Amino acid sequence: MPKHTFDYDLIVIGSGAAGSAAATIVARAGKRVAIIEEDTFGGDSPNWGNIPTKSLLHVARIYDEARHANRFGLRTSTLGYNYPSIRAWKDLAVKRTGAANNRHFYENNGVAAFQGKAHFLTPHEITVNRRHLSAAHFLVATGSSWVTPEIHGLDTVPYFTPRTILETLRPPKSLFIIGGGEYGVEIAQLMATFGTKVYIAEQAGRILPHQDAEVGETIEKVLTEQKGVTVLTHSRVLSVEKEGLTKKILISRAGTQKHIKADEILIAAGRQPNVDAGLENASVAYTAKGVEVNDFLQTSTKHIYAAGDVLGRDGHTHSALLESKIVAHNILERTKTSPNYTATPGIIFTTPEVATVGLSEDDCRRRDVSINKAVAPLSIISRSNTADFRDGFVKIITDKKGVVLGGTIVAPHAGDMIQEIGLAVKHSLTAAQIADTPHAFLSWAEVIRVAAQKLV
């Protein structure tokens, strides 16, 4: 039989982290590659996710430290800020990464770039802007979008998402956040630092409900005691409505109902995979929770792969990049490989930062794994005194033989510190080996050694 010929060897649907690596790697291998983007080239992370959010959080942290520096003998009573200038800094940081709105990057690397919504017609053919394109392989990397919860009146009231609030001209006087996950708490701290009165409503019993209990408790303490945030756990939003220039929110909490007024509302109640791409026409199995794949990231139609948020997994940018590289390998090589998620860290960029790696205590409980654990508060090390910062801890979890299974850090620079515990998880090191490793005096990392020492 004659061999099928296609327009491309690979068509990537989505130009974010899950699509970009595969597109460029396969193109550099001499293959014909096209990439299709419905929204802004570069995807979520550089345009309206990690990069701009963390740029603003960096400014907020500096401003907050300076504002409270009178305890060190610094005169800060006249300190202020210019929010348009802060936004300009955010835009510069986004521009510097080179990954935002980067259509030309793909074209310069030999990748054909198309703007529009891709829709499968057959397992080997899609349409985009009424143009038909075919490929031997596909990568579905369409990402995810913010969920709009079913709340009475929400369709009549303007509201922010974590994407749109980054473009506000100034911090609102008051903000009601629906959702106490990582995006909710990051934006709560950001806006509260610049003077916004913030409320967070979370249905679970604590904010950051997917983290171990100590994490949510510590961050709630910081938000409420230092930033004046009102945290409303066990709370469900029943309705919203306009009232003059403000919004009136009706919540149910502990069996009672109450109204709260706020200038603005932010919806940060979770994300859902973008699976509206005609996948059924390509016989690709999926649900509302995401596209189904095997260990090699192949869908039920083997020449079609999927990666990133569309899988409905953890949503880390570094995980999406890993998966994208795996897809490239599996398309180019005969011997297929699987992504190894062992020791993949997660970071929440509050102050203090939250970083996790490996199994959490809740994970071990669900798996019925017998563990030992140790928690060391930041206040136990000298750096907490010289920096006058005590809100945080390190928790290390081991199996009964002392092998490190996971860890959690709540501390300044936790995202940098977590790599040590990640290395231990990756290579099955013991708490004793961490404790025996010299840690620099007056570094925050000393608290890791102290926690490990408790397990020896």
CATH architecture of 154-269: 3-Layer(bba) Sandwich (3.50)
Distances 148 to 84, 161, 308 between C-alpha atoms, Å:
29, 9, 21
Q: Give me the mean pLDDT over the 210-214 stretch.
A: 93
Q: How confident is the model at residue 4 (pLDDT cuts 50, 70, 90)?
A: low
The DSSP annotation for 76-88 comes to -TT----HHHHHH
* Residue 83, pLDDT above cutoff 50: yes
Portion of the chain with pLDDT greater than 70, in percent: 99
Distances 367 to 113, 143, 210, 400 between C-alpha atoms, Å:
45, 29, 16, 15
Portion of the chain with pLDDT greater than 90, in percent: 95
Q: Round the average pLDDT of the chain to a whole number and report it.
A: 95
Residues 6+ apart with CB under 8 A from 375: 214, 393, 394, 395, 451
* Residue 179, pLDDT above cutoff 50: yes
The vertex-242 CA angle with 237 and 244, nearest 5°, equals 140
* Residue 1, pLDDT above cutoff 90: no
Give pLDDT tens digits for 43-56.
Answer: 999 999 999 999 99
Domain regions of the chain by residue span: 8-42+101-145+272-332, 154-269, 346-453
Q: Same topology for domains 8-42+101-145+272-332 and 154-269, yes or no?
A: yes
More confident residue, 314 or 334: 334
Closest CA to 144 of 299, 24, 313: 313
What was the pLDDT predicted at 111? 97
pTM for this entry: 0.94
**What distance in Å separates the CA atoms of residue 276 and residue 296, rounded to the nearest whole number?**
23
Q: What is the radius of gyration, based on Cα positions, of the chain?
A: 24
- CA torsion sign for 3, 5, 10, 12 is negative
Q: How confident is the model at residue 3 (pLDDT cuts 50, 70, 90)?
A: low
Domain 8-42+101-145+272-332, CATH number (from 3.50.50.60, 3.40.1550.10, 3.40.50.170, 3.40.50.10330): 3.50.50.60
Q: How confident is the model at residue 326 (pLDDT cuts 50, 70, 90)?
A: very high
Give pLDDT tens digits for 222-265.
Answer: 999 999 999 999 999 999 999 999 999 999 998 899 999 999 99
* Residue 76, pLDDT above cutoff 90: no
What was the pLDDT predicted at 297? 98
Q: Give me the mean pLDDT over the 164-178 stretch.
A: 95
Contact 176, 264 (CB under 8 A): yes
Give pLDDT tens digits for 93-140.
Answer: 999 988 888 899 999 999 999 999 999 999 999 999 999 999 999 999
**What distance in Å separates the CA atoms of residue 218 and residue 213, rounded to the nearest whole number?**
9
**What distance in Å separates the CA atoms of residue 346 and residue 397, rounded to the nearest whole number?**
16
Q: Which residue has the tokens 């510069």?
A: 92
Fold of 346-453: Enolase-like; domain 1 (3.30.390)
The DSSP annotation for 187-227 comes to HHHHHHHTT-EEEEE-SSSSSSTTS-HHHHHHHHHHHHHHH
**What distance in Å separates the CA atoms of residue 426 and residue 357, rounded to the nearest whole number?**
10
* Residue 31, pLDDT above cutoff 80: yes
Cis peptide before 352 (omega within 30 of 0): yes
Q: Residue 3 has what DSSP assignment? A: P
What was the pLDDT predicted at 133? 98
Closest CA to 194 of 90, 71, 50, 75: 90
